[in-house]
């Protein structure tokens, strides 16, 4: 009985059909080409080593925009253009310091994106430690004049580190306003890090709420957080000195970078693929998100090198400022909506360049089931890509997708084990990327792009 079931599954999976065999042959070509002559890794080297990190609004971000445009222009796209977008530019400033007093023991910190500065003199205050923001209100007036220190450890138990990140990340964004409302003078937030044993602080976006006084909002590394917590247990009156000079610098005129490869049969049907070109201002923005932009570009380049002619229009988008405002994705969505474009599918890569594991899919359960039956078998055994599950789109697609509720969206999922160890830190550098893992992801992206171009009507009908 088991053998019969297996045979039935193979037939259902389309591997027994001529079309399934053609797809399989095409994917072998894609994988060979990507491993043998893929350029994502060398392009990533340039983006990270020559340009470096590139926070939206900075000169480096604009350098990345212009270099990306020239890279796209070197390929046989039908059209390459910049899409103007204004972003608020936040600058970290020269100094970031934190010490436990009176021992002067240093704490490793990084201001959160959007934080105001402490002023040149810095500030010194007692510390109130909580694990959850909800505990703050119970402390009432005791919060006034203090540094709020949210010290919630990472949930280590989950293989899916993205879920662990999600469990704590709202405290990063909501925290400064909630602390300020109760009269706190600064917000110290334990880094969202899957490593509990290193002392690298992780930055990330936060936000203030209009009408509530802004306070400095600063990430503290895991080991430093444990150190501070121990000092507070010993002496609850322990004070901390904080100094940072970050500030908003106003609006800067910048761009999304877009390239189009026109469809030969249904040019009005658009498949959007891409990721964000900006990064945080520490490390080199390698896994977040150099691999995403250089990977999606190389997926298209691989199909071009194979002489492929797309049926539908494939549009590559490098979004500006995913990290600190999402203005690029908003602009992309507004422009596409104004033209009433028919975006039939979207792929986003913004979860690192580790070994590819699959795609989260924003679509009906019926469509996901169809994909599991027809496409998963093409990827699973030979190429080690096997996750095709209903899930959320990437951040940028999710934002512009508000205008396109029927677009089927794929969120590329590389292996999740290492991502949140280096995410938003000085450790996110070119050397943390493995060439074979990256090019394997390029091949997975190119394969999905090919299958969507050929058969997207099967999951949108």
* Interface residues toward its own copies, by CB under 8 A: 2-3, 5-6, 28, 31-32, 35-36, 156-161, 194-195, 197, 355, 357, 365-366, 369-370, 373, 380-384, 386-387, 389, 415-418, 421, 434-437, 440
Element at 126 (helix H, strand E):
strand 123-130
Alpha-carbon distance of 35 to 23, in angstroms, equals 18
Please say which residue, 9 or 19, places its beta carbon nearer to its own copies: 9
Q: For the CB of residue 172, give the shortest distance to its own copies in the complex, in Å.
A: 21
Please say which residue, 283 or 414, places its beta carbon nearer to its own copies: 414
Alpha helices in 235-326, H assignment, sequence order = 291-305
Half-sphere exposure at residue 224, Cβ-oriented, CA atoms within 13 angstroms: 27
Q: For the CB of residue 434, give the shortest distance to its own copies in the complex, in Å.
A: 5
Please say which residue, 32 or 70, places its beta carbon nearer to its own copies: 32
Q: For the CB of residue 442, give the shortest distance to its own copies in the complex, in Å.
A: 12
Q: For the CB of residue 205, give the shortest distance to its own copies in the complex, in Å.
A: 24
Q: For the CB of residue 2, give the shortest distance to its own copies in the complex, in Å.
A: 4
Before 329, cis peptide (omega within 30)? no
Residues 351/440, Cβ–Cβ less than 8 Å: no
Residues 45/299, Cβ–Cβ less than 8 Å: no
Write the DSSP assignment of 342-391 as a string of letters.
EEEEEEE--S-SS-EEEEEEES-HHHHHHHHHHTHHHHHHHH---EEEE-
Please say which residue, 264 or 381, places its beta carbon nearer to its own copies: 381
Please say which residue, 62 or 415, places its beta carbon nearer to its own copies: 415
Cβ contacts of residue 127 below 8 Å, gap of 6+?
146, 147, 148, 149, 188, 228, 232, 238, 239, 240
Q: For the CB of residue 196, give the shortest distance to its own copies in the complex, in Å.
A: 9
Please say which residue, 389 or 402, places its beta carbon nearer to its own copies: 389
Q: For the CB of residue 107, give the shortest distance to its own copies in the complex, in Å.
A: 23
Please say which residue, 184 or 385, places its beta carbon nearer to its own copies: 385
Residues 397/346, Cβ–Cβ less than 8 Å: yes
Residues 294/286, Cβ–Cβ less than 8 Å: no
Q: For the CB of residue 355, give the shortest distance to its own copies in the complex, in Å.
A: 5
Q: For the CB of residue 168, give the shortest distance to its own copies in the complex, in Å.
A: 16
Tokens of 130: 């909580």
Q: How many CB atoms sit inside 10 A of residue 235's CB?
A: 9
Alpha helices in 107-249, H assignment, sequence order = 136-139, 161-181, 222-234
Please say which residue, 112 or 429, places its beta carbon nearer to its own copies: 429
Residue 249 sits at φ, ψ, to 5 deg, of: -115, 20
Alpha-carbon distance of 359 to 372, in angstroms, equals 11
């Amino acid at each position: 009985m088991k053998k019969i079931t297996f045979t039935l599954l193979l037939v259902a999976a389309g591997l027994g059909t001529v079309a399934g065999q053609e797809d399989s042959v095409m994917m072998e070509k894609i994988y060979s080409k990507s491993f043998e002559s893929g350029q994502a890794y060398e392009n990533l080297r340039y983006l990270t080593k020559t340009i470096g990190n590139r926070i939206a609004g900075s000169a480096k971000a604009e350098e990345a925009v212009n270099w990306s445009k020239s890279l796209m222009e070197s390929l046989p796209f039908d059209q390459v253009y910049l899409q103007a977008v204004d972003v608020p530019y936040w600058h970290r400033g020269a100094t970031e310091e934190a010490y436990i007093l009176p021992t002067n023991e240093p704490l490793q910190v990084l201001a959160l994106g959007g934080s105001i500065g402490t002023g040149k003199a810095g500030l010194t205050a007692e510390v109130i430690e909580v694990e959850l923001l909800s505990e703050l209100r119970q402390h009432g007036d005791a919060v006034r004049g203090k540094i709020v220190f949210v010290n919630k450890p990472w949930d280590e138990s989950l293989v899916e580190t993205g879920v662990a990140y999600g469990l704590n990340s709202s405290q990063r964004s909501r925290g400064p306003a909630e602390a300020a409302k109760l009269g706190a003078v600064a917000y110290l937030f334990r880094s969202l890090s899957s490593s509990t044993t290193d002392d690298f602080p992780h930055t990330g976006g936060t936000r203030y709420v209009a009408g509530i006084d802004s306070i400095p909002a600063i990430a503290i590394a895991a080991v430093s957080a444990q150190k501070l917590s121990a000092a507070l247990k010993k002496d609850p009156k322990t004070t901390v000195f904080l100094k940072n000079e970050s500030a908003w610098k106003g609006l800067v005129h910048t761009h999304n970078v877009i390239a189009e490869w026109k469809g030969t049969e249904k040019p009005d049907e658009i498949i959007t693929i891409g990721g964000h070109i900006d990064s945080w201002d520490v490390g080199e923005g390698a896994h977040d998100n150099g691999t995403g932009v250089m990977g999606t570009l190389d997926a298209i380049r691989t199909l071009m090198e194979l002489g492929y002619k797309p049926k539908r229009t494939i549009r590559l988008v490098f979004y500006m400022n995913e990290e600190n405002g999402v203005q690029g994705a908003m602009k992309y969505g507004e422009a596409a909506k104004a033209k009433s474009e028919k975006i039939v599918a979207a792929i986003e890569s913004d979860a690192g360049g580790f070994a590819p594991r699959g795609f989260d899919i924003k679509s009906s359960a019926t469509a996901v089931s169809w994909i599991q039956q027809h496409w998963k078998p093409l990827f699973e055994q030979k190429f080690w890509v096997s996750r095709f599950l209903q899930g959320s789109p990437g951040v940028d697609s999710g934002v512009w997708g508000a205008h396109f509720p029927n677009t089927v969206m794929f969120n590329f999922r590389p292996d999740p084990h290492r991502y949140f160890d280096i995410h938003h830190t000085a450790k996110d550098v070119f050397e943390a990327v493995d060439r074979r893992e990256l090019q394997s992801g390029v091949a997975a992206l190119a394969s999905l792009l090919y299958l969507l171009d050929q058969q997207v009507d099967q999951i949108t009908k």
